[in-house]
Structure 1
């Protein structure tokens, strides 16, 4: 089994829902930011959901699929997408995590690896619902308690690939934010980065008094420690494993 970055317990503090409107805001390279403050969504729980589906081979597939391409050549350029929310389809394990820094200088991570699931009503005011190893209709969900926004300095939400999962170029993932007020916010992870193992998806920062969500979508070839270096968190990382189930 491959190894992955896990925050060393002896260097970290002990760690231990939002609605959506009918419309959605998609954060893109051209429009990468949205203010939670301006849409009145800086209270209650901000729900962050990760869901994914797998792309099959763009040009391969079964005999039936190849026959379909001959009858409909235009489909050759449309990747065949297979839902990956059951264990029998493909072995998928994308994990959702969050680097946090509080106003008092406390820094750490919330992630499945190492069982750092956080806390919603206590520091760090970020909590992971659990570890979804095979994909489920609900995916993985992270909650941020914005009633404690004054105690939160910055957050970086990221996704990383665990053992035996195809690379990001075969996995189409979507991270959706459900604020307490206003439309949901969607960030697509559909860029092709075959060797990447981690992706910084979005940051939450305070900008001139506003709490702002900023699209990042930066793929890296390493794991959490590389994201840490990229964004200057300064944590100490070591090897980590998941228990077999």
Structure 2
């Protein structure tokens, strides 16, 4: 099976929403969870990236708490913002390896959007360039879990401007049933351009999710070397919005 097999000819599909229960936060102390043991290893696993700019990035002064005491209850991130205020474009993607040895990437860059009904059984939907409320979403078809060996979900900054220290990003996994899983990218790495967020592995038939949160100063090729994927990389570009 070729590198780009399954990336063309994808057809529309109704995805399960799932994961409406409580959240489980994956942290340094609690890094792993078994989807199989939670009965959540079937259906479409929805992976969502959302982010907000930190207010300090815009030089905003905090209002006086004496005049506005309720302001202390508001978070330091801006809840909404327009295109003119944002110059950070976070993208969601993944490296995948199937049990037959096929390896590849699913990401907006280069329009490698994947296919949820055929190999690699992963599809990314949309490219949020301005950090809107819906963010970016990827679907993994766990009904084909026996064909999936490992999936490395990553976040990268397309415009090459290191800005992870100016954003508050969260990657959330919504299984077809059970609680959602949340991973926050709150560590300050001002020069990093990419982050390996989580690894999904098929371990003897059991689907495991492990928090990674490893920031690197390069792009996908550096993540590839870090995890031993062995792909060949070239310069990619986005189409204009």
TM bucket by the smaller chain?
A: 0.7 to 0.9
Q: CA RMSD in A?
A: 2.4
Structure 1 ranges of 4+ moved more than 4 A: 69-72
CA distance in 1, matches of 2:58, 2:142: 46
1:103 maps to 99
Distance 1:91 1:97 in 2: 19
* Match status 1:13 vs 2:4: yes
CA distance in 2 between counterparts of 1:133 and 1:178 reads: 22
- Mean alpha-carbon deviation: is it higher for 155-164 or for 101-110? 155-164
C-alpha distance 95-59 of structure 1, shift in aligned 2 (>3 A): closer
1:83 to 43, 61, 79: 79
What are the equivalent positions in structure 2 for 1:178-189 lying under 5 Å apart?
A: 178-189=174-185
Comparing 81-90 and 17-26, the one that deviates more: 81-90
> Under a length normalisation based on structure 1, what TM-score does the superposition of the two structures give?
0.86
Q: Is the 8 A contact 1:99 1:110 kept in 2?
A: yes
What residue number does 1:52 align with? 51
Alignment partners' CA distance in 1, 2:81 and 2:197? 21
1:43-64 Cα offsets, whole Å, 9 max, x none, are 11000000000112279424xx
Q: State TM-score, norm by structure 2.
A: 0.88
1:1-245 to structure 2, matched below 5 A, reads 12-14=3-5, 15-16=7-8, 17-18=15-16, 19-57=18-56, 60-62=59-61, 65=62, 68=64, 80-84=76-80, 86-163=82-159, 167-245=163-241
CA distance in 1, matches of 2:115, 2:75: 40
Gaps of 5+ in 2: 9-14
Q: Which runs of 5+ in 1 are unaligned?
A: 1-10
